[in-house]
Structure 1
Amino acid sequence: MAFNDAGHTASHGSDYSGTIHVYTSAGAWVGAYDLNASNGYKASVKVPAGITDLHVNAEVLNDNVYEGNESFVIYGHGAEQDWVKSNDSTIHDSPDKPEITTITQEREGKEGGSWVGYNLDINKTSTTDTTVTLRFDDSLNQAQYGSDYTGKIHVYTKDAEGGWSRIGGDYFMSGSSPHTADITIPAGKSGVRLFVEPVNDSNVESNETLKFDAVTEGSSNWVTSDAVALLDKSAWMISEPAYANEGEWLTWEATLANPSTGTSWTKINVHGDATHGSSWNAFEASFDGGETWGATRYYDGYVIVPAGSTSFHVRSKSVDDSTYKGENEVTLELIEHSSNAGIVSGTTTQSGYITDNDEPEISAYIFGQDYSVVRGDLNGPADNTQLNFSSASTKVTFYDSNDTLIGDNASNEYVIESAQKVEINGTQYTVQYDFNIQIQDASGNIYTFAVIDVDMNSDGYMGQSSSVEDGQLIIQVDGPDVPLNTTLDYVVDSFDNSIDSYRYEDLYAESSAITPLVLDLDGDGVETISVDVSKISYDLDADGTSNITGWANSDDGFLVWDINQDGLINDGSEMFGAGTDLADGTKANDGIEALAQHDLNEDGVIDLHDAIFDQLDVWVDSNMDGITDPGELKTLAELDITSISLGAVASEEMDNGNLLGLMSSYTKSDGTVHEYADVWFEQGEEVNDASEASPHTYLSTEENQSTTNDPHPNFEGDAAPWAKVEFSIVGETFVTRADEHGDWKFTLPPDSTLTKGENAFTVKITDTDNNTEFKAGIVTLDTTPPEILLENENGLHEGDTFIGGSDYNSWDVGATVTIMQGDMEIGETKIQEDGSWKIDNPNYQSGTDVTICITDIAGNSSIDDFSVGS
């Protein structure tokens, strides 16, 4: 008798064992035979005398893998006879067909936010793809198709390393109820996650649940999922306050459409051009309609609003400073911090205004006019601001920080190197950055003004590049008289203030700002962070020297070309801007010029017709550290970008000290057009050692582990003494402070829970001088105990030369294995990179069980007893 796998679809070892039992046709036992590799899958059967018919039974294996039905044959021959093949038999595999066992909640969804998530467990893998039918019956759901969920589904499966990968693109449900969708599970996969997209209908309907049924192809065993909540929480609405005169209270009312179902922790922020201390200096809240006021429920920037509330009031006290500043804007921002379902969500803002009743103390002024000034116009030293006064009719004197008189406009020239004080017609102010400006009106009249920042909340400043003065207060020092409240027309003039519609050579001839291209990826415009906040050290102009620099915000990205294919954007030579080499060996003047050299067909766009298009990426520096981390380089295909326009218009828009100098657009596959900019990032000090610019914040979870089984772990670190710590994780931000030694610690509260798997977090540290540092990381929640897998096939016996295990997963590496017999420790080791562990010469004795305990790096433990034979 013989087996040959070439003659059938079944396989030895996985579908049949090779063992056969032989009987006579009358049922008499002949013998058992094992056909295996050692005997060539052959065996000689001794047929009893007088027997002409034999029955052969072959043992079939159950591998718990669905492969479909398989054919099976056996061969035989007698002495001096050719081999004879049996008829085909069939190994039926229907018992192994995959079935859904449970569908549990993976996470709650939120209107306008997180998709509703489910874990779909399948009991067996398959060697072929498996079709699963999903059925959503709205008669059984609070959430409804179209108004609460879109019908779009994303599917993820677990890979061999335990990570999750999306498959199949977008799946869509049918339009009629019950809404169905067929998803395909690839061969070999059994762990599946489903996510259903919610609809943000802007209606507060309270929380609703969503569940569905699912079944595998060919099965009738429908399984119903958990009912998972789709959160729909109300947001605060803020009434517009009345105007308040200086010295009066400015009051807002915050209301809810529905009563809150729990205590609301609402963060209070105040923005606008009104300055705390000089414009307003008090804050109070009322929870009884304004009858009583106080800050008793105000804690670390939060108002704690009691459960069941539908409104509360906030007011701020304006300051009467007897100094004319004009009207000041105060913007109240409410940011809901509650994570519990059914309380409040979102961010809301509303502005109020403080009216200034003081009289101006100067003879002429302009209010609200924008001006651009080039540093070269000021004719002063590179890092100073020089004021030129050609008339002594306006008395201006300057003092140092010790109130010592150091100059006046009678000398016709004065240089301010740092913060000083200035006296104008008898009133003294503090001056930060001041400069004069010349403008020409439509009639050709030339005016000279001193732009004074006089603590009147002007946004004027003088950096090392372009300077923009929003002109809250401009004092005329020369030229025709300007009537009160007059706005002059600005025209392109002969003072080198003109800006070419495309190039910025004049504006940046002596500038330290450096340009790359930045794409707006989230539709809210190109956003940047200032050089004072970023703390990022980077060589933008590719000259071999890094500087502290302004940077793109984490939700926008740089257009880049990884020239050396090392997976890193090493410096500005791999961006498009002032660090880009042109074909003639010179550097590009701006990002548009740097990119345009690759438009070989000269059609004004970069697209698939240009060789460089497929080599371009977008660097989204999500943790804003100036380092190209894994996953931060996105291909244009990933972002659905199909073309990039080279047409650009000049812009004077400033964003956090960085000039969005040239504006252009790119197009996505759906035809939508989005914005990108050539950004002139302000440069700070040179950094010789990158570590000088690196945040020194130290972060750790409990016992320095990045993996934990605690859904509410501790996070701790060090920073500057009394620094403010803003810790963001699971969609929420928590605020604490470092102590006098710089130590801080934070524990995730009970109402905020890590999700299983990876949880990204960021921490922002702001010291008492308002210096800010950022760090980011990932903490993994793992609550699954490790298996105990023994290599000792025949059990444990006294005298064993080793005890060990193998076939562990990558996430089990590093787990501690402890072997005990009674109170005696046999040994301790760890699971190695190859997924195995081993202890040589264990020296355990027969008659007493051995206890094996395996504890993984997350703290999950498995423990079991094994008998020891002699």
Structure 2
Amino acid sequence: MAQPYIRINQFEANYSDVGVKSATGHVNFTFIDGNGVNKGTFGANLKNKDRPSGVSNEESDNRRKIDAKSPHHFSYAKLSSNDFTNALKYAQKAHHESSIGNMKYALACGNCVDFGMQVFNQTTLGRSQLPNYLQPNTAVSIYANLSNALCSGDNYQIKEARKVVLTPNRWRPEQLPNWAQPCIDAVVPTTISGGKWLDTKSTDAWDVAKHFTMEQGTCELEVQEFVVKNLTVASPIVINLDGCGIKTTSIFDQSVQFDLLGIGHNVTSAWIMPTSGFLVYNKQGIDNVTSVNDLFGGSERMEGFFKLVDLDKDKKGYIDKNDKIYASLRIWVNHQMDGISHAGEIYTLQELRC
């Protein structure tokens, strides 16, 4: 008799024309016993015409996604017979409770990742190990790490432990436990399709994770520290204009959408106050900024200065009006602080006496 295992089925966030579209990605769990028999594939999802809200058997749904060539990844957690039995019983119980309306899907602390963490919690692996079986730097793996700090208790939305329930037009509190107040804002406007965030069609993993946590109103310090520690670094050169130092907003309190990573779509970022401006390289003679590619910066610290050094053709260690590049440099002062370059926001160095 072989060792039983759980296959972790991870479907990536996908907005391409190939495969099933998904803004967040999805994960579910296939149980294979010691005889190689498939005992079912269980996952948590929103209600549709084929399933109730909560946990359902998603075997046929997986086949449909794979046949459509949706990007996916499999990993395997080998278990003892006892751990396998406990995890399977939990998944089957969750399926039953969902079918009679006692378990419901919730975007924060009650989604497909949270269900998987509770499946793992029935084994000696424990819930904290699930991120190790997920593809790194994807929305579901990042959320799994955040969930360890954000979501407490050995439960998945069961009756009295229910935290929040997603309804067609709003977040509605149901017996919110003390730990969740005020860290989950139960009145954040959203819709069953994901609200205005999905309109940006960003599948950037951090945008997805931040939507699940920060934009839903969490004030959990552990979550904020995790996000700050793991955020992708971007290093555009910023010039202070009022002599009082560069001031920025917090990504948790006031953020913007801008292609700060040069990946072709906007990501959520903190922003500078309009008392400072971004140094712009106006290569095409058009005063417009659409991404970090128009600025001096990149994914490495100091990268913006290294790019500027390359333009110092006479290697004197600074750039002034005698350099040819001087006429192509601009400063973008985003007065509206919205990540969009408006008319009148882009200045020559001479205009700002730089």
Q: Please say whether Structure 1 and Structure 2 have the same fold, judged by a TM-score greater than 0.5.
A: no
Kindly indicate which of the two structures has a greater share of residues assigned to strand.
1
Kindly indicate which of the two structures has a greater share of residues assigned to helix.
2
Question: What TM-score, normalized by structure 1, do the two folds share?
Answer: 0.17
Question: What TM-score, normalized by structure 2, do the two folds share?
Answer: 0.38
Which is higher, the Rg of structure 1 or of structure 2? 1
